Amino acid sequence: MKKVRGTSIIVGVALGVLMLGARDTSSAPPGYSAYNVQGTYRVTFSGILLATGRIESGIGIFTADGAGHLTGTEVFNAGGTVCRDVAITGTYSVGANGIGALSADFSGPTPGCSGHFNSALLVLDGGDVVHASSTDPDFVTIAEEWRRQSQ
């Protein structure tokens, strides 16, 4: 009987750990939605401004609320102009197939470090990873990836 009791305790502890680590998905619709994109994301990106051939690359931290609103901060190099402390605010949507859209404004203290951008989103791994690609006609994304930060 001791062996059964010890096994029951181990199974109970394992289930408790699994339940503590799980996200509440009770209000999530089936398939993908904006709900899947929530939490804090570490972001890397690079691309080319077509009109000038200027290469841009940067990093950032975004927070998404799961209801279509995003805020964050980024640092990027825009063809030699280093843009620090750039604030981001935007809205996003995600279709059931995991493809979505982002529209965002960015504003930094350095001249040339403010503007607007639009991107297509591809939500992967339940929202743990997001890939983005510019939908603006004058900018080509080389790579952009968001990774949800573990809690």
Q: What percent of the chain has pLDDT over 90?
A: 79
**Low-confidence spans in the chain with pLDDT less than 50:** 1-25
Using CA of residue 86, residue 57, residue 77, residue 117, what is the dihedral sign? Answer: negative
What per-residue confidence (pLDDT) applies to 101? 98
Tokens 């990106």 appear where?
45
The C-alpha atoms of residue 77 and residue 59 are separated, in whole angstroms, by 9
Going from N- to C-terminal start, the domains of the chain cover 34-148
Residue 87 C-alpha from the chain's centroid: 15
Report the b/e string of 86-95 with b at 16+ CB within 10 A.
Answer: bebebebebe
What per-residue confidence (pLDDT) applies to 2? 43
What per-residue confidence (pLDDT) applies to 29? 54
What per-residue confidence (pLDDT) applies to 8? 41
Taking a C-beta distance cutoff of 8 angstroms, is the pair 108, 19 a contact? no
- For the structural domain made of 34-148, what CATH number should be given? 2.40.160
What per-residue confidence (pLDDT) applies to 150? 86
pTM: 0.79
Q: Tell me the pLDDT tens digit for each residue of 117-140.
A: 999 999 999 999 999 999 999 999
Amino acid at position 54, single letter: R
What per-residue confidence (pLDDT) applies to 151? 67
